Amino acid sequence: MTATNTARRWLALRQRLNMDQLEFADLALTSRSTISRVESGDTQLKYANIQALEQSLGSPIGVLLGNDDTPAAPAWYFDYLALPAPMRRKASAIISATIKTLADPG
């Protein structure tokens, strides 16, 4: 993957999450200027920043960036991630209960 392609994927991810650069930087535990440089292809995020994003968003970064060798996220996933944390917790409980109900053949 080229630096330009990677930069576009970071920008697309932030936009799908409806976040400005400062909000996204807060999740990645970095600065807004670093996010700007990442999105322009001038630098890459450090591993620690990627880990912070994975932890904050609850998903492997490959899924979030849509890497070819990573399973695709469901269509609703980015809407879910864009919810505030308290609403995500409620949605997670509903999703878990629904999956358990569907998985129970009895």
Contacts by residues 62-66 (CB-CB < 8 Å, ≥ 24 positions apart): 64/13, 65/6, 65/9, 65/10, 65/13, 66/9
pLDDT of residue 11: 94
Q: Mention every residue, 6+ apart, whose C-beta is less than 8 A from residue 13.
A: 64, 65
In this prediction, residue 69 has a pLDDT band, given cuts at 50, 70 and 90, of: low
Please tell me whether the overall predicted TM-score, pTM, comes out greater than 0.75 for this model: no
| Tokens standing for residue 89 | 């917790």
CA distance 86 to 105: 31
The tens digit of pLDDT for each residue in 28-42 reads 999 999 999 999 999
- Tally the C-alpha atoms within 13 A of residue 99's C-alpha that lie toward its C-beta: 6
Residue 36: predicted pLDDT: 98
Provide the percentage of residues in the chain whose pLDDT is more than 70: 92
CB 21 within 8 A of CB 27: no
Write out pLDDT tens, residues 38-68: 999 999 999 999 999 988 888 888 877 877 6
Domains of the chain from N-terminus onward: 3-103 (1.10.260.40)
